Amino acid sequence: MPEGRQVQQMFSAIAGKYDVLNHVLSGGADFWWWWRMARRSGAAPGKRFLDVAAGTGDSSLALARRGAEVISTDFTHAMLRLGPAKFARKGFAGLIWASSDADAQQLPFRDASFDGITICYGIRNVEARPRAYAEFLRVLRPGGQLTILEFSTPVFPGLKAFYDWYSLRVLPRVGAWISGDASAYTYLPESIRTFPDQAALAKELETAGFREVQWTNLTGGIVALHTGTR
């Protein structure tokens, strides 16, 4: 696991190409995965959501589309600063959307101030996950829900073999070619391989103190959606 500063440098270097690479490397499935995440999160008018590790704002946008008030936070300013223009381009300029540079392990928000927290493709990069979970529990209202969208472990052997080939052979080459940065897209499959699988992540959340922990596999477990309640 690289240190936080290295993660920030890595995302700062690819920020301008991050969106296009997401869409190309996932074959467009990223939109479907964000849509499923937002639906599962319970985002709705009148609900206040914190999107942690929001990056360039696509995960936040999926929440805003369901009518939630969204506060987006990320510790890489070069990523987060691209969000407001994207919101405006998509016609969401009128919605309340606020950004703030913050580490998931030390959130600058009051206790019990959010109905929901989401973190999409971010928790894998956090150095001390238990510290982030403690912060999520602190800023969630009682009964509020954490929703994690993250790469996971494919559940079908044939899919796993294909995915291994794709993520180890194709993805780093295409990523390096489009972004001009070889390290970020070599780090991505490595970090996915060392990240807990579906059951282990659920156990981590229960150990941290979340109740009613559940998960759903998307696209055969290439990604998974985990939820837990405060």
Ligand X SMILES: C[S@@+](CC[C@H](N)C(=O)[O-])C[C@H]1O[C@@H](n2cnc3c(N)ncnc32)[C@H](O)[C@@H]1O
Tell me if 72 contacts ligand X by CB under 6 A: no
What's the distance, Cα to Cα, between the start and end of the chain in Å?
Answer: 28
Pick the binder of ligand X from 121, 133, 151, 187 (CB under 6 A). 121
Residue whose Cβ sits closest to ligand X: 55
Of the candidate residues 14, 38, 55, 92, the single one contacting ligand X (CB under 6 A): 55
Gyration radius from the chain CA atoms: 17
Measure the CA–CA gap between 133 and 123, rounded to whole angstroms.
Answer: 9
13: CB partners within 8 A, 6+ apart:
179, 181, 184
Quote the least distance from Cβ 130 to ligand X, whole Å.
Answer: 13
41 contributes a contact to ligand X by CB under 6 A = no
Q: Decide: is 59 part of the binding site for ligand X (CB under 6 A).
A: yes
Residue 104 touching ligand X (CB under 6 A): yes
| Position 7 contacts ligand X (CB under 6 A) | yes
Choose, by CB under 6 A, the member of 69, 103, 135, 204 that binds ligand X. 103
Minimum separation from the CB atom of position 168 to ligand X (A): 18
Of 46 and 138, CB closest to ligand X:
138
Distance CA 139, CA 118 (A): 12
Burial 148-166 (b: 16+ CB within 10 A, else e): bbbbbbbeeeeeeeebeee
Binding site for ligand X (CB under 6 A): 4, 7, 11, 53-55, 58-59, 74-76, 79, 103-105, 120-122, 125-126
